[in-house]
Amino acid sequence: MADTSAHTEQGRQQAATHAPMVEINQLIKRFGKLRAVDDLTMTINKGETFGLIGPNGSGKTTLFRMLVGLIRPTSGEVRVLGEYMPSAKAAPYIGYMTQLSALYNDLTARENLAFFCDIYGLRRKVQRQRIEEMLARVDLLDRIDDVVGNFSGGMKQRLSLACALVHQPRLALLDEPTVGVDPELRRSFWDYFAQLNQQGVTLIVSTHHLDEAERCTRLGLMRSGKLLAQDNPHALLRLSGKDAMEDAFLFFASRQEERS
């Protein structure tokens, strides 16, 4: 009996290791007559960098808010780390960077990060190290005790990224993380995302910068709440017969319109 139990537990652990990070099934979110997310089904595996590509109003932010449990779907299912969302059990393992700043302008950079450390339950003795590590990562360590209200838009964007990742989440939801960031720092951000990916962190990144698509493991192309296509960047180019991701996006959008 002991051996059987051990094998059963081993099987559970192996299943958990290979289980998807995110499972979305026939997801719909309505706001009045508007379908902000329209019958979305996808699976995102552990360790992926999944890019959500689409214009403003395509449903990316609404999808993120359902993934993190801030809003409930009209119908369909969302599971993160095997938990149906919203879930208090999964929430501590998720980092979420919103498009709208969640920073406190009257606090310093250090105080903002300490606030998020407290929210995520980081012990005080590790907070200082994590705060300094993250500020160094986003090139703000020299502004650690400056009031955030005096920061530029790009600096606030960098600090928001640090706040989303300070607790070392297993899943990072990054909504337009490179908006307002100069090209050099944008490249640095994506190099950092690659490092996180190698460490086993799953990232879902929304962007309208099509040149960033090549840095993703897989892409989901969204328009008007619908998922037009999903695959790795090279496969999407091959399927569309195009050489540029912008042209591939237009191809899949046109094909979806023909089917409507």
pLDDT in tens, 129-162: 999 999 999 999 999 999 999 999 889 999 999 9
C-alpha to C-alpha distance for 149 and 168, rounded to whole angstroms: 26
- Find the mean pLDDT for residues 110-127: 94
| Alpha carbons 214 and 194: distance in angstroms, whole number | 12
pLDDT in tens, 21-51: 999 999 999 999 999 999 999 999 999 999 9
Confidence of residue 259 (pLDDT cuts 50, 70, 90): confident
169: preceding bond cis by omega (within 30 degrees): no
Predicted pLDDT of residue 100: 78
Instruction: Give me the sign of the Cα torsion angle 126, 131, 134, 139.
Output: negative
Q: What is the pLDDT of residue 8?
A: 47
Among 9-13, 46-50, 67-71, the minimum mean pLDDT is found in: 9-13
Mean residue pLDDT across the chain: 90
| pLDDT at residue 32, rounded to an integer | 95
For residue 1, pLDDT beyond 50:
no
Residue keyed to tokens 């903002």? 112
What was the pLDDT predicted at 72? 96
Position 243 confidence tier, pLDDT thresholds 50, 70, 90: very high
Cα angle vertex 36, ends 31, 42, to 5°? 135
CATH code, domain with 133: 3.40.50.300
Total residues found in the chain within this entry: 260
- The tally of domains found in the chain comes to 1
Q: By the 8 A CB rule, do 171 and 95 touch?
A: yes
The bridge status of strand 218-223 relative to strand 49-53 is parallel
pLDDT given at position 182: 85
Asked if pLDDT for residue 17 goes beyond 90, the answer is no
Q: Which band of pLDDT confidence, cut at 50, 70 and 90, is reported for residue 11?
A: very low
How far is C-alpha 116 from the geometric centre of its chain's CA atoms? 17
The total of other beta-carbon atoms located within 10 Å of residue 82's CB is 14
Task: Please give the Cα distance from 154 to 152 (Å, whole number).
Answer: 5
| The pLDDT value given to residue 155 | 92
What pLDDT is recorded for position 181?
81
Q: What is the pLDDT of residues 173-185, one digit of tens each?
A: 999 998 878 888 8
Q: Which amino acid is at 182?
A: D
Domain containing residue 41: 2-259
CB 108 within 8 A of CB 162: no
- As a whole-number percent, the residues of the chain with pLDDT over 70 amount to 93
Number of helices followed by number of strands (H, E) in the chain: 8, 10
pLDDT digits (tens, 9 = 90+) for 84-113: 999 999 999 999 999 878 899 999 999 999
